[in-house]
Structure 1
Amino acid sequence: MTELDRRRDIIAHCLKMNGNGLNQGVSGNISVRSEDRMLITPTSIPYDCMLPEEIVSMSLGADYGAWEGPKPPSTEWRFHLDIMRARPEVGAIVHAHPTYCTSLAMTRRAIPACHYMIAVFGGDDVRCADYATYGTEQLSLNVLKAMEGRSAVLLANHGAIATGYDLSNAMWRAVELETIARQYFNALLIGGPVLLTEDEMHETFAKGLAANYGGVARPV
């Protein structure tokens, strides 16, 4: 992809994110790695009005926090940038406030091994990062800690983050995370799920890694 293609792809996925109910309004944000820079949605521009040239470009190098564009980056630029700097395998990040992920995050609970598809996030759970005010350095630090060995995380009293090797993969994981969150939420209403054992999760990883299914990353 050219940089222009990536900018257009970000806008297309923002529209998809709102269209499929994963997000509402302009509360979500998306970033994509572009060589030694990160492209990220600008702050407070409705997706259906957003133009490719309004996507913000930020350095992944030493010039931390510097940006180029007609408007500032999303207020959540810090955890996008810090994830990409710390995790070179991450090519794209989707942050949104999906209903079921956010409902669970309001209770500050992780999503355990209630379904074998939890494996696509890199472990036997999806953790919930500790609460911090949005856009802050502390929130980014909390996110990095909760995402160790994982490709997704819930944000306490806030929302969710999903990463991927490219934007399509990150969006797929974001949708899958909300699906599992909805299933877990419903299971809690009828007494709680029976969780998969460590051996059962190891077997899932073995099958997933062999088939490269959904970007399964590593065993528990």
Structure 2
Amino acid sequence: MDNYNIFQNYDEILFKNECARGTRLLNIRGYSPSGESGDTSVRDLETGRVYVSGSPEWCFQKNLRDARGWERFITNTEEEIFVPWSEPTCEWYMHVAIYRKRPDIGAIVHTHGEWASVFAILRKDVPLDLIGEGKSGVIPCAPYADAGTNDVAELTADALVNSDTCIMGSHGGVAVGKTLDDAFAKVAWMEQACEKAYYALLNGR
């Protein structure tokens, strides 16, 4: 296979394995209950390379928990493809679009967590003044667009220009951070915020 063994220095191996770890955590932490949805990415801020959830079709990866580092898809913000043998998540355009508009971040987590999905179905912003943390504003909900399209990529990236978390209309949630663990911490906070806001709205707040 062409390019099978490229990007094999220590830093690149670490980035690939880190992306695979994030992919597995989506299912382990319940943010992809089916084990088939959601994706993660990490960016090397020095080289600009983006390591995204993906797997060659011939690997028969049945569950996100099966993710291994060497299978990762590698691109950059110019959408160059460095490992053509790996089949990326259909939302790789979204990851790239977010990185283009957020040069400060190094990781993205796209989830189908339960409570973020509730607000995604409702296509509503999450009002933060209802969650009891002294916050104002909202977790913005990006307008709906078909999964895997440039439209959903740009709409989601726009929603994250001034926020580290967002809801994707009729889809799921996204959090960004300096590191993968930082992004996952924001996913956990977003899930709690969505749950609190939902019950507050349910009780007429």
Q: TM-score, normalised by structure 1?
A: 0.78
- Determine helix, strand or coil for the equivalent of 1:68: coil
Change (3 A) 1:150 1:36: same
Whether the 8 Å contact between 1:54 and 1:69 is mirrored in structure 2 is: no
Letter in 2 for 1:115: I
Aligned residue pairs: how many? 187
Which residue of the other structure, out of 129, 140, 159, is the alignment partner of 2:142?
A: 129
- Determine helix, strand or coil for the equivalent of 1:22: coil
Whether the 8 Å contact between 2:39 and 2:53 is mirrored in structure 1 is: yes
Which residue of the other structure, out of 20, 36, 45, is the alignment partner of 1:26?
A: 36
- Determine helix, strand or coil for the equivalent of 1:154: strand
Whether the 8 Å contact between 1:56 and 1:73 is mirrored in structure 2 is: yes
Distance in structure 2 (CA, Å) of the matches to 1:13 and 1:148: 23
1:155-188 deviation line (CA, Å, top 9, x unaligned): 0100001000111100110111011111111222
Q: TM-score, normalised by structure 2?
A: 0.83
* Identity in percent: 25
Partner of 1:174 in structure 2?
187
- Alpha-carbon distance, 1:118 to partner: 8.3
1:112 maps onto 2:122 in alignment? no
Partner of 2:54 in structure 1?
42
Partner of 1:165 in structure 2?
178
Whether the 8 Å contact between 1:41 and 1:73 is mirrored in structure 2 is: yes
- Which blocks of at least 5 consecutive residues in structure 2 are unaligned? 1-9
| CA RMSD of superposed structures (Å) | 2.0
Distance in structure 2 (CA, Å) of the matches to 1:145 and 1:60: 15
Whether the 8 Å contact between 1:90 and 1:164 is mirrored in structure 2 is: yes
1:136-172 deviation line (CA, Å, top 9, x unaligned): 0111121122223111110010000100011110011
Letter in 1 for 2:145: A
- Alpha-carbon distance, 1:60 to partner: 2.5
Change (3 A) 1:116 1:32: farther
Letter in 2 for 1:142: L
